[in-house]
Amino acid sequence: MSGVLALVGGAEWREGCTFDAQLLEASGGRDVTVLPTAAAYEHPEHAVEWAARWFEGFGADVRALMVVGRKDADDEANARVVRESRFLYLSGGSPMHLRSVLKGSVVWDALVATWRDGAVLAGSSAGAMALCDPMVDPRGGAFTVGLGLIEQLAFVPHHDTWSPDKAKRTIALAPSGLPLLAVDERTAVIRATDGRWSVHGAGSAVVFVDGSERGLDALPV
CA distance 190 to 199: 6
Q: Give CA separation, 142 vs 111, 155, 172, 173, 205, in Å.
A: 27, 12, 9, 6, 20
Secondary structure tally for the chain: helices H, strands E: 8, 15
Q: With beta carbons less than 8 A apart as the criterion, state whether 47 and 36 touch.
A: yes
User: Could you list the pLDDT tens digit for every one of the 221 residues in the chain?
Assistant: 699 999 999 999 999 999 999 999 999 999 999 999 999 999 999 999 999 999 999 999 999 999 999 999 999 999 999 999 999 999 999 999 999 999 999 999 999 999 999 999 999 999 999 999 999 998 888 999 999 999 999 999 999 999 888 899 999 999 999 999 999 999 999 999 999 999 999 999 999 999 999 999 999 98
Residue 129: enclosing H or E segment and its boundaries? helix 126-131
The CATH class for the domain spanning 5-218 reads: alpha beta
This model's pTM is above 0.95: yes
Cβ(45)–Cβ(68) below 8 Å: no
Task: Output DSSP code: residue 11.
Answer: -
